[in-house]
Amino acid sequence: MISVTEARERVLNSVKANDPVEVPLMETLGRVLAEDIVADTHIPPFDNSAMDGYALLSEDIVKATEENPVRLEVLEDLPAGYTARRSLGTGQAIRIMTGAPIPPGADAVIPVELTEREDGGVLVRRAVERGANVRKAGEDVRKGETVLSRGARVGPAEMGLLSSLGRARVMIYRAPVVGIISTGDELVPVEEELRPGKIRDSNSYTLWGMVRETGAEPLRLGIVSDDAQALRNAILDHLEEVDAFITSGGVSVGDYDIVKEVLADLGEIDFWKVSMRPGKPQAFGLIEGKPLFGLPGNPVSVMVSFEQFVRPALLKMMGSRELYRPEIEAEIETPMGRSTGRVEFIRVILREEEGKFKARVTGPQGSGILKSMALGQGLAVLGEEVGRLEPGARVRVQLLRVEPGAWRSSAT
C-alpha cells in the first residue's frame, strides 16, 4: 500500500504533455496554450476617447468656470470607427464618441454632460487635465509584451485577448482523448429496465462529466462484463484512438477483479493499493505508454480517486501549469473522521462567516453514497494520523465547486 502523495507522484511521473497543435480560436476554450502570446500591436492600437464628449486642448479651457464658460468652435462629429478629417488647433473642438481616435492636436476629452452645444460651437464650463478621458494606445497591452504564457488555460478573457491581437489560430496542446469503461455483470445502461440484481451504470456518466470538465475529451466505451477477455478486447479495440483509459470496478480483491489481470497482461501495473478512504483498491499502469486508471467501482471512490490522481494527470497531459484544485482552511462544525490510518476524504458543505470558512459533513460518508458528492462543495482531507475530529478543529478542504451558490455567507 502506498500513500496518496506517492501515488500521485508516480502517476504524474508517468505522463507528459501531448503534442502542440494549431487550432482556430473558437476551439481554444478550456484548452492550454502551447505558445507564449507576444503582442505584435498595442491594445488599444491608438489613443482614443473614453467618453462621449469633445476632444480639445486642455490649455484652452484652464480658466473655464460655471460663470465664465469658454466657447470653442466645433469642427466635426467623430463617431467610433473613423478618423478625424482635420487636426485641431487652439479654440477648436471635435465632437467625439467613445472609442473614436483622439484627433491630432487634441490632448483631452471633456464629457458631454459638462458642456452645452451652441450653434457652431460648444460652451465648456469646467477645466479638465491634459490626458483626461483619453485611453492611451497600449494601456492594456504593449507591443512586444508577453500577454499570456505557455501552460495557461484559455478562458473567455484569454479568448478576448487573443482576438484583440488578431490571433485567429493558436497553438494549444492537443486534448487527451480518454476512454471510459465500466466493468461489472450487475450494470445496465441508463436506457434499460432494471432486472433483479442489476443496477444502473452511473460511473461512466460521472467520469464523462469529470473528464469533460477538466477540459479533456471523454469517450464512453460502454459496459463490459466481469470477464478478462471482454475487458482486454475493449481496451485493444480503442488503444489507437485514446490517450488514456479509465475503468471503474473490478479492482478489489475478489474472484471477479479483472482489471489488474488485464493490465498486468497488456502492460505493466505500477500500484494497486493506496492508503486512502474511500478508494483504497485501485490499479494504475501503462499500456503501450498510455496510462490506465483502474478506479474502484463505488461511485464516491470513483470521484474521489479521479480528483486525486486522474485530474492532475489529465491536466499535465493537457499541458497545464496548474494541476490542483484550490484548497482552503476551514473550521469544522460537525465531528468527522475515524481512525483508519488512511487519508480520509470527507465531503463537506461549506459556509462563510465573517470571512472564515466553516465545514460540515454532508451526511453518511459511505463510498456508495453518491448524493454526498452532489451535496458536497469540497473534500476535507484528514491525514493518516488524524482520526476523529471534534467541532472547532481546522481542516484543509479541496474546493470542488466554485460556482454561483456554491456556498453562502451566513449573512444571506
Q: Which of 313, 406, 226, 267 is nearest to 15 (CA)?
A: 313
> 492550454: which residue's cell?
32
**Is residue 176 involved in binding ligand AMP (CB under 6 A)?**
no
Choice from 60, 201, 243, 307 touching ligand AMP (CB under 6 A) = 201
Query: What track of x and - describes contact with ligand AMP for positions 291 through 320 (by CB under 6 A)?
Result: -----xxxx---------------------
Query: What track of x and - describes contact with ligand AMP for positions 210 through 249 (by CB under 6 A)?
Result: --------------------------------------xx
CA distance 253 to 258: 10
**Is residue 69 involved in binding Mg ion (CB under 5 A)?**
no
CA distance 258 to 249: 9
We find the least distance from the C-beta atom of residue 311 to ligand AMP, in angstroms, to be 19
We find the least distance from the C-beta atom of residue 370 to ligand AMP, in angstroms, to be 8
We find the least distance from the C-beta atom of residue 381 to ligand AMP, in angstroms, to be 23
**Is residue 372 involved in binding ligand AMP (CB under 6 A)?**
no
* Surface-to-core class of residue 364, CB atoms within 10 Å of its CB (0-12 exposed, 13-18 middle, 19+ buried): exposed
> 474502484: which residue's cell?
296
Using CA atoms, how far residue 369 sits from 255, 278, 349, in Å, is 25, 11, 15
3-class state of residue 134 by DSSP? strand
For 214, the grid coordinates are 477538466
For 39, the grid coordinates are 503582442
Choice from 53, 176, 184, 218 touching ligand AMP (CB under 6 A) = 184
CB 110 within 8 A of CB 56: yes
We find the least distance from the C-beta atom of residue 296 to ligand AMP, in angstroms, to be 5
Q: Which does 58 bind (CB under 5 to 8 A by kind): ligand AMP, Mg ion, none?
A: none
We find the least distance from the C-beta atom of residue 195 to Mg ion, in angstroms, to be 17
Query: What track of x and - describes contact with Mg ion for positions 234 through 263 (by CB under 5 A)?
Result: ---------------xx-------------
CB neighbours (10 Å) of residue 63?
Answer: 10
Q: Which does 203 bind (CB under 5 to 8 A by kind): Mg ion, ligand AMP, none?
A: ligand AMP
Q: How many residues bind ligand AMP (CB under 6 A)?
A: 18
Residues 7-36 that bind Mg ion (CB under 5 A): none
For 233, the grid coordinates are 478486447
Find the part of the chain contacting Mg ion (CB under 5 A) among 33-41, 85-93, 295-303, 365-373.
295-303
Q: Which residues lie below 8 Å from residue 68, measured CB to CB, with a gap of 6+?
A: none
Q: Which does 182 bind (CB under 5 to 8 A by kind): ligand AMP, Mg ion, none?
A: ligand AMP
> 492600437: which residue's cell?
45
**Is residue 376 involved in binding Mg ion (CB under 5 A)?**
no
**Is residue 202 involved in binding ligand AMP (CB under 6 A)?**
yes
Choice from 18, 133, 252, 377 touching ligand AMP (CB under 6 A) = 252
Choice from 57, 93, 148, 187 touching ligand AMP (CB under 6 A) = 187
Residue nearest to ligand AMP (CB): 297
CB 259 within 8 A of CB 250: yes
CA distance 388 to 331: 14
For 267, the grid coordinates are 502492460
3-class state of residue 156 by DSSP? helix
**Is residue 184 involved in binding Mg ion (CB under 5 A)?**
yes
CA distance 359 to 344: 15
Is 152 or 188 the residue whose CB approaches ligand AMP more closely?
Answer: 188
Q: Which residues lie below 8 Å from residue 251, measured CB to CB, with a gap of 6+?
A: 257, 259, 260, 272, 281, 282, 283, 294, 295, 296, 297
Chain residues that interact with ligand AMP, rule: CB under 6 A: 182, 184, 186-187, 199, 201-204, 248-252, 296-299
Chain residues that interact with Mg ion, rule: CB under 5 A: 184, 249-250, 297
